[in-house]
Structure 1
Amino acid sequence: MKFIIRAICLSALLSFTSWAQQVPLDRVAVIVDQGVILESEIQALIDEVKRNAETNDQSLPSDRALRTQAIERLILKSLQMQMAERMGIQVSDPQLEQTIANIAASQDASVADLRQELAREGVSYDDYREDVREELIVGEVRRANVRRRIYITPQEIESLVKLMDEQGAEQAEYDLGHILIGLPSEPTDADVADARDRADKVIELLKGGSDFAKIAIASSSGSEALEGGDMGWLNINSMPTLFAEAVQGKEKGELIGPIRSGAGFHILKIQDTRGIEKVTIEEVNARHILIKPSIILSEDKAKKMLEDFKKQIDAGEAKFADLAKEHSEDPGSALKGGELGWADPNLYVPAFKNALAQLQPNEYSAPIRSTHGWHLIQLLDRRFDDATEKKKEDKASQLLFNRKFQEETETWLREMRDAAYIEVLE
């Protein structure tokens, strides 16, 4: 018996020793202010980019260039996550699960389908959940810090409305590729000259037939670098002013730049264009009851309250408006019986917008969780119509905000990066 026990112990020790020899220990690769980036995080991001490139039949630059871009993205993410911690920004598990359910629904799939697809791709569902949680947190940090840097004047709105009127309801769209040769926040003349020289060399390579996405991944300082510089489809009014002026009148396949801005030198490629489309405006008229979880009121109890309200409404025991006036924690709508009035659904947070998209007029939602709390929603009606004058102003204001938000985000990230303590441990 002693022999058997001794043999088992020896076997376990040998197995552990063998495992320890085969699996390298993780290490700190970068120090970022009060945080660190591990080698495993860098490798995981590189592996993800390589998987995506293989799926899309996309060539990639050298591993060194890919690693440099991966480190830079993780540095910015680390800085934003540290700021989120200081600001007390968190995403609860119910909110996270609701977001993942919305992601699956947007692809006409269930969460179970999503989990199966992730498993086929070799991605852990737990890792995926945490990635989504971090994306939500980073989004909140950016909105909180960049929004206050944006100011839109009445004259800007008036000018854009006039431009939209001149263009009418038809607007060409551009699929843009973008490479940014970045500058530090306070560049010297030498910095500018060096960046201009690198931008000119990139233009030469592209004109010589080099792959745009590959060069973007290797060289761009833009936030979409790891996506091959793909900015997606944009119309004139939703892209940065600098780009809007540059692309007008240009055709598919044309290269534009270098264009100088405070961030550096931009190079654009019009990857595709699509025709003139009529703009139709969808508006929804909805009402809701908002219950916010707190130290006293748990997530489950807040959700249960709304489930009980819905049962009372369905049974004719209570009216939605009365319950909203008495219980809703949205001060802007509670006194109106929860009514939000006619609005563009894109103005609502994603969870609320997605819930509305699933409803028919006069239909109620199940309780849904958003960044604001738990909602019981009723869609009163929806309509598709041409924009009114007020709608044009609202749309112009939103387009200006989106344009400035993108520009200010790049500036904010660069300033935060320049002010941080960064040490890459080779």
Structure 2
Amino acid sequence: MKLLVVAIALSALITFQSVAQQVSLNKVAVIVDQGVILESEITALVDQVKRNAKANNQDLPSDRALRTQAIEKLVTDNLQTQMAQKMGIQISDPQLDQTIAGIAANNNIPIEQFRQVIANDGVPFEVYREDIRKELITQEVRRANVRRRVYITPQEIENLVKLIDEQGAEQAEYNLGHILIGFPPQPSDEDIEKAKSTADKVLELLNNGSDFTRIAIASSSGSKALEGGDLGWMNINSMPTLFAEAIQDKEKDALVGPIRSGAGFHILKVKDLRGIEVVKVEEVNARHILIKPSVILSEDKAKQKLEEFRKQIIAGEATFEELAKEHSADPGSAIKGGELGWNDPGIYVPAFKEALAQLETDEIGQPFRSSHGWHLVKMIGKRVDDATDKRKEDKAYQLIFNRKFAEETDAWLREMRDAAYIEVLDSPTDTVGS
């Protein structure tokens, strides 16, 4: 009987300690305007930082310092979550699933294996999933509030493009192949004409696919003939001016010449280059109809609507343009019959870009989901364009934007935090059962 009483008492003590621990973890640790941060959230974040540090063999400061840093991060996250609620920003389950599938794909891991990897790190997949949802919401809030604070002038872009060009000129290196069809030191007109004729024939052979190295070994009078005419990597400022002027703006595998000098006629091949960004991009022009799910229109209904549109277009009962004008939720393209214009596919969200890659000209794809909603797409056409100059401008714009966005984000977060009511409550030692 005595043993039974002891067992009951011990069981009660264990139960009380368990409840005390649960109360401790679930108590409110920080008040943030209209929201709160729980002790369990702080503990989970600190534990995550410790796991990451252990995996990377990193030293960490004291637990008190970690707790302070964790609270600061959770405060800013909480403020942004409250902002998202006021703005009505939400991330649907299909958007979330698509994002996580993209993360797994970028890591070349099947989604089921990816779930296991997350679990092996000690994080329940549902917890990870909701963390990604919060991160996506935070990104949307920042974009909406900070983007309008960033202003970039055309002059800023132009100045940076010039700087990139100057740096490129200094770094530009070419791997050149060289064939010299020589003539005597004091050539006659006949010597020059004969050499020119031979050089023209060599160039014709090369343009028809003959091997440069083989012809250089066989025909070149240059000092590197036995190496197949390979001059190696040369800075544009270290090569003969005659060569530098001839190969500027030339692309990989370009043949240049014949170029006359005092030694004869030169034929050059740009075997490779580095330090220069030469960009050829495939641009696409497509039409799309966007249907956004809502409280009234479910995900399935939105998809079914587009499937019906596709059947109508194929059957000749309606045109893509008519349906886009009447039904598309993308106002910018709807007024143009859904036409998006010629663009680099890279500007679109991953799901849209991937869908475009699967389509041939005039083909209408199956409805698919992106972060914007459900789409029906028709490929109008594809073309390859030299986008080097545009890419330089885009690169300059993006570099400036990233810098300014980061600066403005920091300023916006500071302003939001300074305007908020924040109260840190009792430390974790002042808990039930302590």
TM-score, structure 1 as length reference: 0.64
What is the alpha-carbon distance in structure 2 between the residues aligned to residue 158 and residue 167 of structure 1? 14
Once the two structures are superposed, residues 299-322 of structure 1 have per-residue CA deviations (whole angstroms, 9 ceiling, x without a partner) of 221122223344556777765445
1:383-402 to 2 correspondences below 5 Å: 386-387=386-387, 389-402=389-402
- Given the alignment of the two structures, is residue 76 of structure 1 paired with residue 100 of structure 2, yes or no? no
Question: Which residue of structure 1 lines up, in the alignment, with residue 55 of structure 2?
Answer: 55
Give the Cα separation in 1 of the matches to 2:64 and 2:344: 45
Q: Displacement of 1:350 after TM fit?
A: 4.6
- Distance of 1:66 and 1:383 partners within structure 2: 54
1:18 lines up with 2:14 in the alignment: yes
How far apart are residue 164 of structure 1 and its match?
Answer: 2.8
Extract unaligned runs of 5+ from structure 2: 173-273, 428-434
Secondary structure of 1:85's aligned partner: helix
- When residues 411 and 56 of structure 1 are mapped into structure 2, their CA distance, relative to the original with a 3 A threshold, is same
Partner amino acid, structure 2, of 1:401: F
Instruction: Decide whether aligned partners of structure 1 residues 84 and 171 sit closer, same or farther in structure 2, where only a CA change above 3 A counts.
Output: farther
Does the 8 Å contact 2:290/2:373 carry over to 1?
yes
Deviation at 1:57, TM superposition (A): 2.5
Per-residue deviation, residues 102-131 of structure 1 (Å, max 9, x unmatched): 222222233322222222222112111111
Aligned partner letter, 1:50: K
**Aligned residues: CA RMSD:** 3.4
Give the fraction of aligned pairs with identical amino acids, expressed as a percent: 67
* Residue 79 of structure 1: how far off its partner (Å): 0.7
Counterpart mapping for 1:296-375 below 5 A: 296-310=296-310, 320-353=320-353, 355-356=355-356, 359=358, 361-362=360-361, 366-375=366-375
Deviation at 1:296, TM superposition (A): 3.1
Preserved contact between residue 99 and residue 351 of structure 1 (Cα < 8 Å)? no
Tell me if the contact between 1:46 and 1:70 (Cα under 8 Å) persists in the aligned partners: yes
Q: Distance in 2 between matches of 1:384 and 1:12?
A: 80
CA distance in 1, matches of 2:391, 2:411: 30
CA distance in 2, matches of 1:169, 1:87: 48
Q: What is the CA distance between 1:74 and its match in structure 2?
A: 0.7
Structure 2: distance between partners of 1:15 and 1:376: 62
Where does residue 32 of structure 1 map in the other structure? Answer: 32
Q: After superposition, what is the alpha-carbon deviation per residue over 1:141-176, rounded to whole angstroms, capped at 9, x for unaligned?
A: 10111011111112112212222333349989xxxx
- One-letter amino acid of the counterpart of residue 73, structure 2: R
In the alignment, does 2:401 pair up with 1:405?
no
Contact in 2 for aligned 1:170/1:279 (Cα 8 Å): no
Change (3 A) 1:344 1:413: farther
CA shift, 1:344, in A, is 3.5
Aligned: 1:136 with 2:175? no
Q: Deviations over 1:299-353 (max 9, x none)?
A: 2211222233445567777654454344322222234442322323443345434
C-alpha displacement at 1:35, in angstroms?
1.1
Partner secondary structure for residue 73 of structure 2: helix
Q: Residue 392 of structure 1: CA displacement?
A: 3.9
| Structure 1: gaps spanning 5 or more residues | 1-6, 173-274
Alignment of 1:1-400 (within 5 A): 18-22=14-18, 24=21, 25=23, 26=25, 27-168=27-168, 276=275, 278=277, 280=279, 282-285=281-284, 286-310=286-310, 320-353=320-353, 355-356=355-356, 359=358, 361-362=360-361, 366-378=366-378, 386-387=386-387, 389-400=389-400
Mean alpha-carbon deviation: is it higher for 104-113 or for 152-161? Answer: 104-113
Residue 126 of structure 1 aligns with an amino acid whose one-letter code is E
In the alignment of these two chains, the number of paired residues is: 315
Please give the secondary structure, in 1, of the residue aligned with 2:29: strand
* In 2: Cα distance, 1:277 partner to 1:15 partner: 74
For residues 134 and 305 of structure 1, what CA distance do their matches in structure 2 show? Answer: 30
Identify which range, 309-318 or 409-418, moves more after superposition. Answer: 309-318
342-351 or 145-154, larger mean C-alpha shift? 342-351
Alpha-carbon deviations, 1:362-394, whole Å to 9, x = none? 466543333432222355566665425455434
> Match for 1:93: what amino acid?
D
CA distance in 1, matches of 2:161, 2:373: 35
Structure 1 residue 276: Cα displacement: 4.4
The answer to whether the 8 A contact 2:349-2:370 is kept is yes
Structure (1 or 2) with the larger CA radius of gyration = 2
The verdict on how the C-alpha distance between 1:326 and 1:157 changes in structure 2, with shifts beyond 3 A counting, is same
**Partner SS state of residue 343, structure 1:** coil
- Rounded Cα–Cα distance in structure 1 between residues aligned with 2:276 and 2:365: 33
Contact 1:287-1:340 within 8 A present in 2 as well: yes
Query: In 2, Cα distance between the equivalents of 1:391 and 1:321?
Result: 31
Change (3 A) 1:368 1:53: farther
Is residue 284–residue 379 contact of structure 1 (8 Å, CA) maintained in 2?
no
Contact 1:288–1:324, Cα closer than 8 Å, also in 2: yes
The one-letter code sitting in structure 2 at the alignment partner of 1:99 is: T
- Distance between the aligned counterparts of 1:41 and 1:303, measured in 2? 38
| Counterpart residue identity of residue 21, structure 1 | Q
Maintained 8 Å contact 2:280/2:388: no
Matches of 2:306 and 2:66 in 1, distance apart? 49
